[in-house]
Amino acid sequence: MKPLERRMADKLFSIGSALDHSEGWCFEEEKSSSKPVEIKLPSKHLLVLKMEKRQGKPVSIVGPFFLEKEALTKLCSVVKKKLGSGGTCKEEWMEFQGECREKLKSILEALEFRFKG
């Protein structure tokens, strides 16, 4: 057992010495079980369009997408090129600079995605 162990929230910090043949301070995270992402066809998605203001500038947000990470980034880059604006994909949501909800909706509907409301 290590000379000194302290538990802080869900992380474990331990102090070792040179005699323990460890690197001294180590940081160990407990593995969290994340739920697996259910992958759906575009026609099975029900997306939501939102608009937020961040630092006084409009941001159009669409999601949640149930796609693999690589497929979501490819879709995001295709949509950014068609919109002609910058954006990013975070987790299962895509964020685009500016007020572009109508154009965004028409682009995604052409790719067979569906929207709520």
CB neighbours of residue 108 within 10 Å: 22
Contact, 17 vs 67, CB < 8 A? no
- Alpha-carbon distance of 100 to 60, in angstroms, equals 6
Q: Domain 42-115 is in which class?
A: alpha beta
Separation of alpha carbons 106 and 77, rounded Å: 16
Average pLDDT, the chain: 81
Cα separation, 76 vs 80, in Å, equals 6
Task: Count the Cβ atoms, other than its own, within 10 Å of residue 51.
Answer: 12
Model confidence at 18, pLDDT cuts 50, 70, 90, reads low
3-state secondary structure 23-35: CCEEEEECCCCCC
- pLDDT tens per residue across span 48-71: 999 999 999 999 999 999 999 999
Domain ranges (residues) in the chain: 1-33, 42-115
pTM attached to this predicted model:
0.67
Q: Could you write out the DSSP letters of every residue in 3-55?
A: SEEEEETTEEEEE--GGGTS-SEEEEEPPP-PPPPPP--GGG-EEEEEEEEET
Tens-place pLDDT, residues 71-91: 999 999 999 999 999 999 998
